[in-house]
């Protein structure tokens, strides 16, 4: 089963467009876990076990693991392996934002898909098509391409006008063109920019968008859904990390995370 098929089935099964970002931070996790042998995995497992029926994907960000060296990357692999074995219907997006020249990109694709066994990955289009082809040729995987990101400094480059349109519009148009060949492209469109998201949806009418920025970053959920949903009330993967993960720093952290995930899922469905 390829990523997009798996994603659609998870959305239908759990009636959810919610993705939880698994971004473990030692300074924020409950103290009772900090002395365990593998605090990363134990924290992630608690979140996963209590929220697996509320989400359409999980999205670990590789920086929270690789910054801890071998220990962290082993825990990342263990986490993805756990999801694949225990909750086989839920796809995993590895948020890695890879983008490099062709031969290096080939190795990054091997890292993401062969080593960590992710179902999808985030990538940067800045170097053009040949830097993405090693990912795109993995037809069964999801390739999620940065378009209009959720950070405030996105305006430094993504909003620059090129031939009468901002750069992010050209990116969206190009990804739609690539998708005619590869049929596994998605776009990253941040929730801080609902009006821009609307423009991107007009270009990529049927494509799935990964939408960060809801929750701690202050994204506008109602307008994001209003402007970003496809005609069948789908097409969005709404990502939240800190607002769910760190709802409690006590032994009830997983239960409190579930409560916040349930609230966000319900809010999303309210506007669908």
- Determine the Cα–Cα distance for residues 83 and 86; give it in Å rounded to an integer: 5
The tens digit of pLDDT for each residue in 93-135 reads: 999 999 999 899 999 999 999 999 999 999 999 999 999 999 9
- Determine the Cα–Cα distance for residues 256 and 73; give it in Å rounded to an integer: 27
CATH number where 162 lies: 3.20.20.70
DSSP for 35-61 reads: TSTTHHHHHHHHHHHHHTTT-SEE--B
**Range of 164's domain?**
3-270
Number of domains in the chain: 1
The tens digit of pLDDT for each residue in 149-195 reads: 988 899 999 999 999 999 999 999 999 999 999 999 999 999 889 99
Residues 108 and 127: beta-carbon distance below 8 Å = no
Residues 132 and 184: beta-carbon distance below 8 Å = no
- Determine the Cα–Cα distance for residues 96 and 129; give it in Å rounded to an integer: 18
Task: Please give the positions annotated as active site.
Answer: 97
């Amino acid at each position: 089963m390829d990523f997009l098929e798996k994603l659609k089935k998870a959305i239908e099964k759990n009636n959810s467009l919610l993705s939880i970002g698994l971004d473990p931070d030692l300074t924020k996790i409950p103290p009772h876990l900090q002395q365990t042998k593998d605090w990363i995995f134990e924290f992630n497992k608690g979140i996963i076990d209590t929220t697996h029926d509320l989400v359409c994907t999980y999205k670990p960000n590789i920086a929270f693991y690789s910054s801890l060296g071998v220990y962290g990357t082993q825990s990342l692999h263990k986490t993805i392996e756990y999801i694949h074995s225990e909750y086989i219907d839920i796809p995993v997006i590895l948020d890695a934002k890879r983008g490099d020249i062709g031969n290096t990109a080939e190795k990054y694709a091997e890292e993401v898909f062969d080593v960590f066994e992710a179902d999808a990955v985030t990538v940067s289009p800045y170097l053009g098509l040949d830097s993405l082809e090693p990912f795109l040729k993995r037809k069964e995987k999801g390739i999620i391409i940065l378009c209009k990101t959720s950070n405030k400094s996105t305006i430094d480059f993504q909003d620059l006008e090129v031939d009468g349109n901002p750069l992010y519009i050209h990116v969206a148009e190009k990804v739609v063109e690539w998708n005619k060949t590869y049929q596994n492209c998605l776009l990253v469109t941040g929730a801080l920019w609902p009006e821009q998201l609307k423009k991107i949806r007009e270009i990529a009418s049927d494509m799935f968008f990964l939408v960060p920025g809801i929750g701690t970053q202050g994204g506008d959920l109602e307008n994001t859904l209003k402007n970003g949903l496809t005609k069948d009330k789908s097409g969005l993967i709404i990502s939240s990390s800190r607002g769910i993960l760190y709802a409690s720093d006590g032994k009830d952290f997983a239960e409190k995370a579930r409560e916040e995930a349930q609230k966000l899922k319900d809010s999303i469905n309210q506007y669908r």
